[in-house]
Amino acid sequence: MATYFSGGTEGDWLVRDTHQIIGQTLPHVTHLKILNGTDGVSDSFWTISGVSSHARYTHRAEKIELNALQASLGRSEATCGALIPIKKSEEWWSFTQDERRNIFENKSKHIANSLKYLPAIARKLYHSRDLGEPFDFITWFEFSPTHVSDFNNLLAELRASEEWKYVVREVDIRVVKAPKS
C-alpha cells in the first residue's frame, strides 16, 4: 500500500539538486527510485514512504475543478520531477479541522493557487504522518522542462503563504528522467 522513495546509486530519476529549505536536509544522492513496496530499497542511502490517501481539506467544488484540469503522472514530455517531503509543526497538528482548513485555503489559497498551474504541473500527495515517518507528507511533481519556472513560481507562492509558517522541515529534491539505456 505504501510507496517508497529511495535515494541511492540507481533508479529511474537522476538527482540534480538537493535543496535544504528548512530543518534537517536529506543526504544528496545521485539517483531516486520510486517503489510500490520494500523490494529494492536495501541499497539506498535513505528511504522515505507514504500512502496515497483521501484528501483532507478539499471540498467537492474544488475537487470538480481539480479533476477537470489535472494531468496524470507519467507523461512522456514530463521529464522533470521534484520530490518535496514536508513536516509541519506540533502547533499545526494541535489545530482543529476548521482552523487548519481556514489557514490552508481561506488564508493561504493552497488549492486556488495550485489550480493556476494545471495541467502543466502533475502532482501526487502521499501521507506519512500516521506511519511514524520523519516527514508528514511527501509530494511528487512531474512537469516538462519548459515549465520549470512555472513550478518555481508555484513553490514561491506556497512558501510565502501563512500555511508555510507551520512547516518545520522541507527538502526540495529536483530530478530528471534518466535516459533509457
**Which positions lie near a second copy, rule CB under 8 A?**
1-2, 51, 53-60, 62-63, 93-94, 96-99, 101, 127, 129-132
C-alpha gyration radius of the chain: 16
Closer residue to a second copy in complex, CB, 54/180 = 54
Closer residue to a second copy in complex, CB, 13/126 = 126
The minimum distance between CB 47 and a second copy, in angstroms, equals 17
The minimum distance between CB 110 and a second copy, in angstroms, equals 13
Closer residue to a second copy in complex, CB, 17/130 = 130
Closer residue to a second copy in complex, CB, 101/124 = 101
The minimum distance between CB 128 and a second copy, in angstroms, equals 8
| Cα–Cα nearest to 123, from 136, 107, 141 | 141
The minimum distance between CB 79 and a second copy, in angstroms, equals 31
The minimum distance between CB 56 and a second copy, in angstroms, equals 6
In whole angstroms, what is the distance from residue 110 CA to residue 162 CA? 10
Closer residue to a second copy in complex, CB, 13/104 = 104
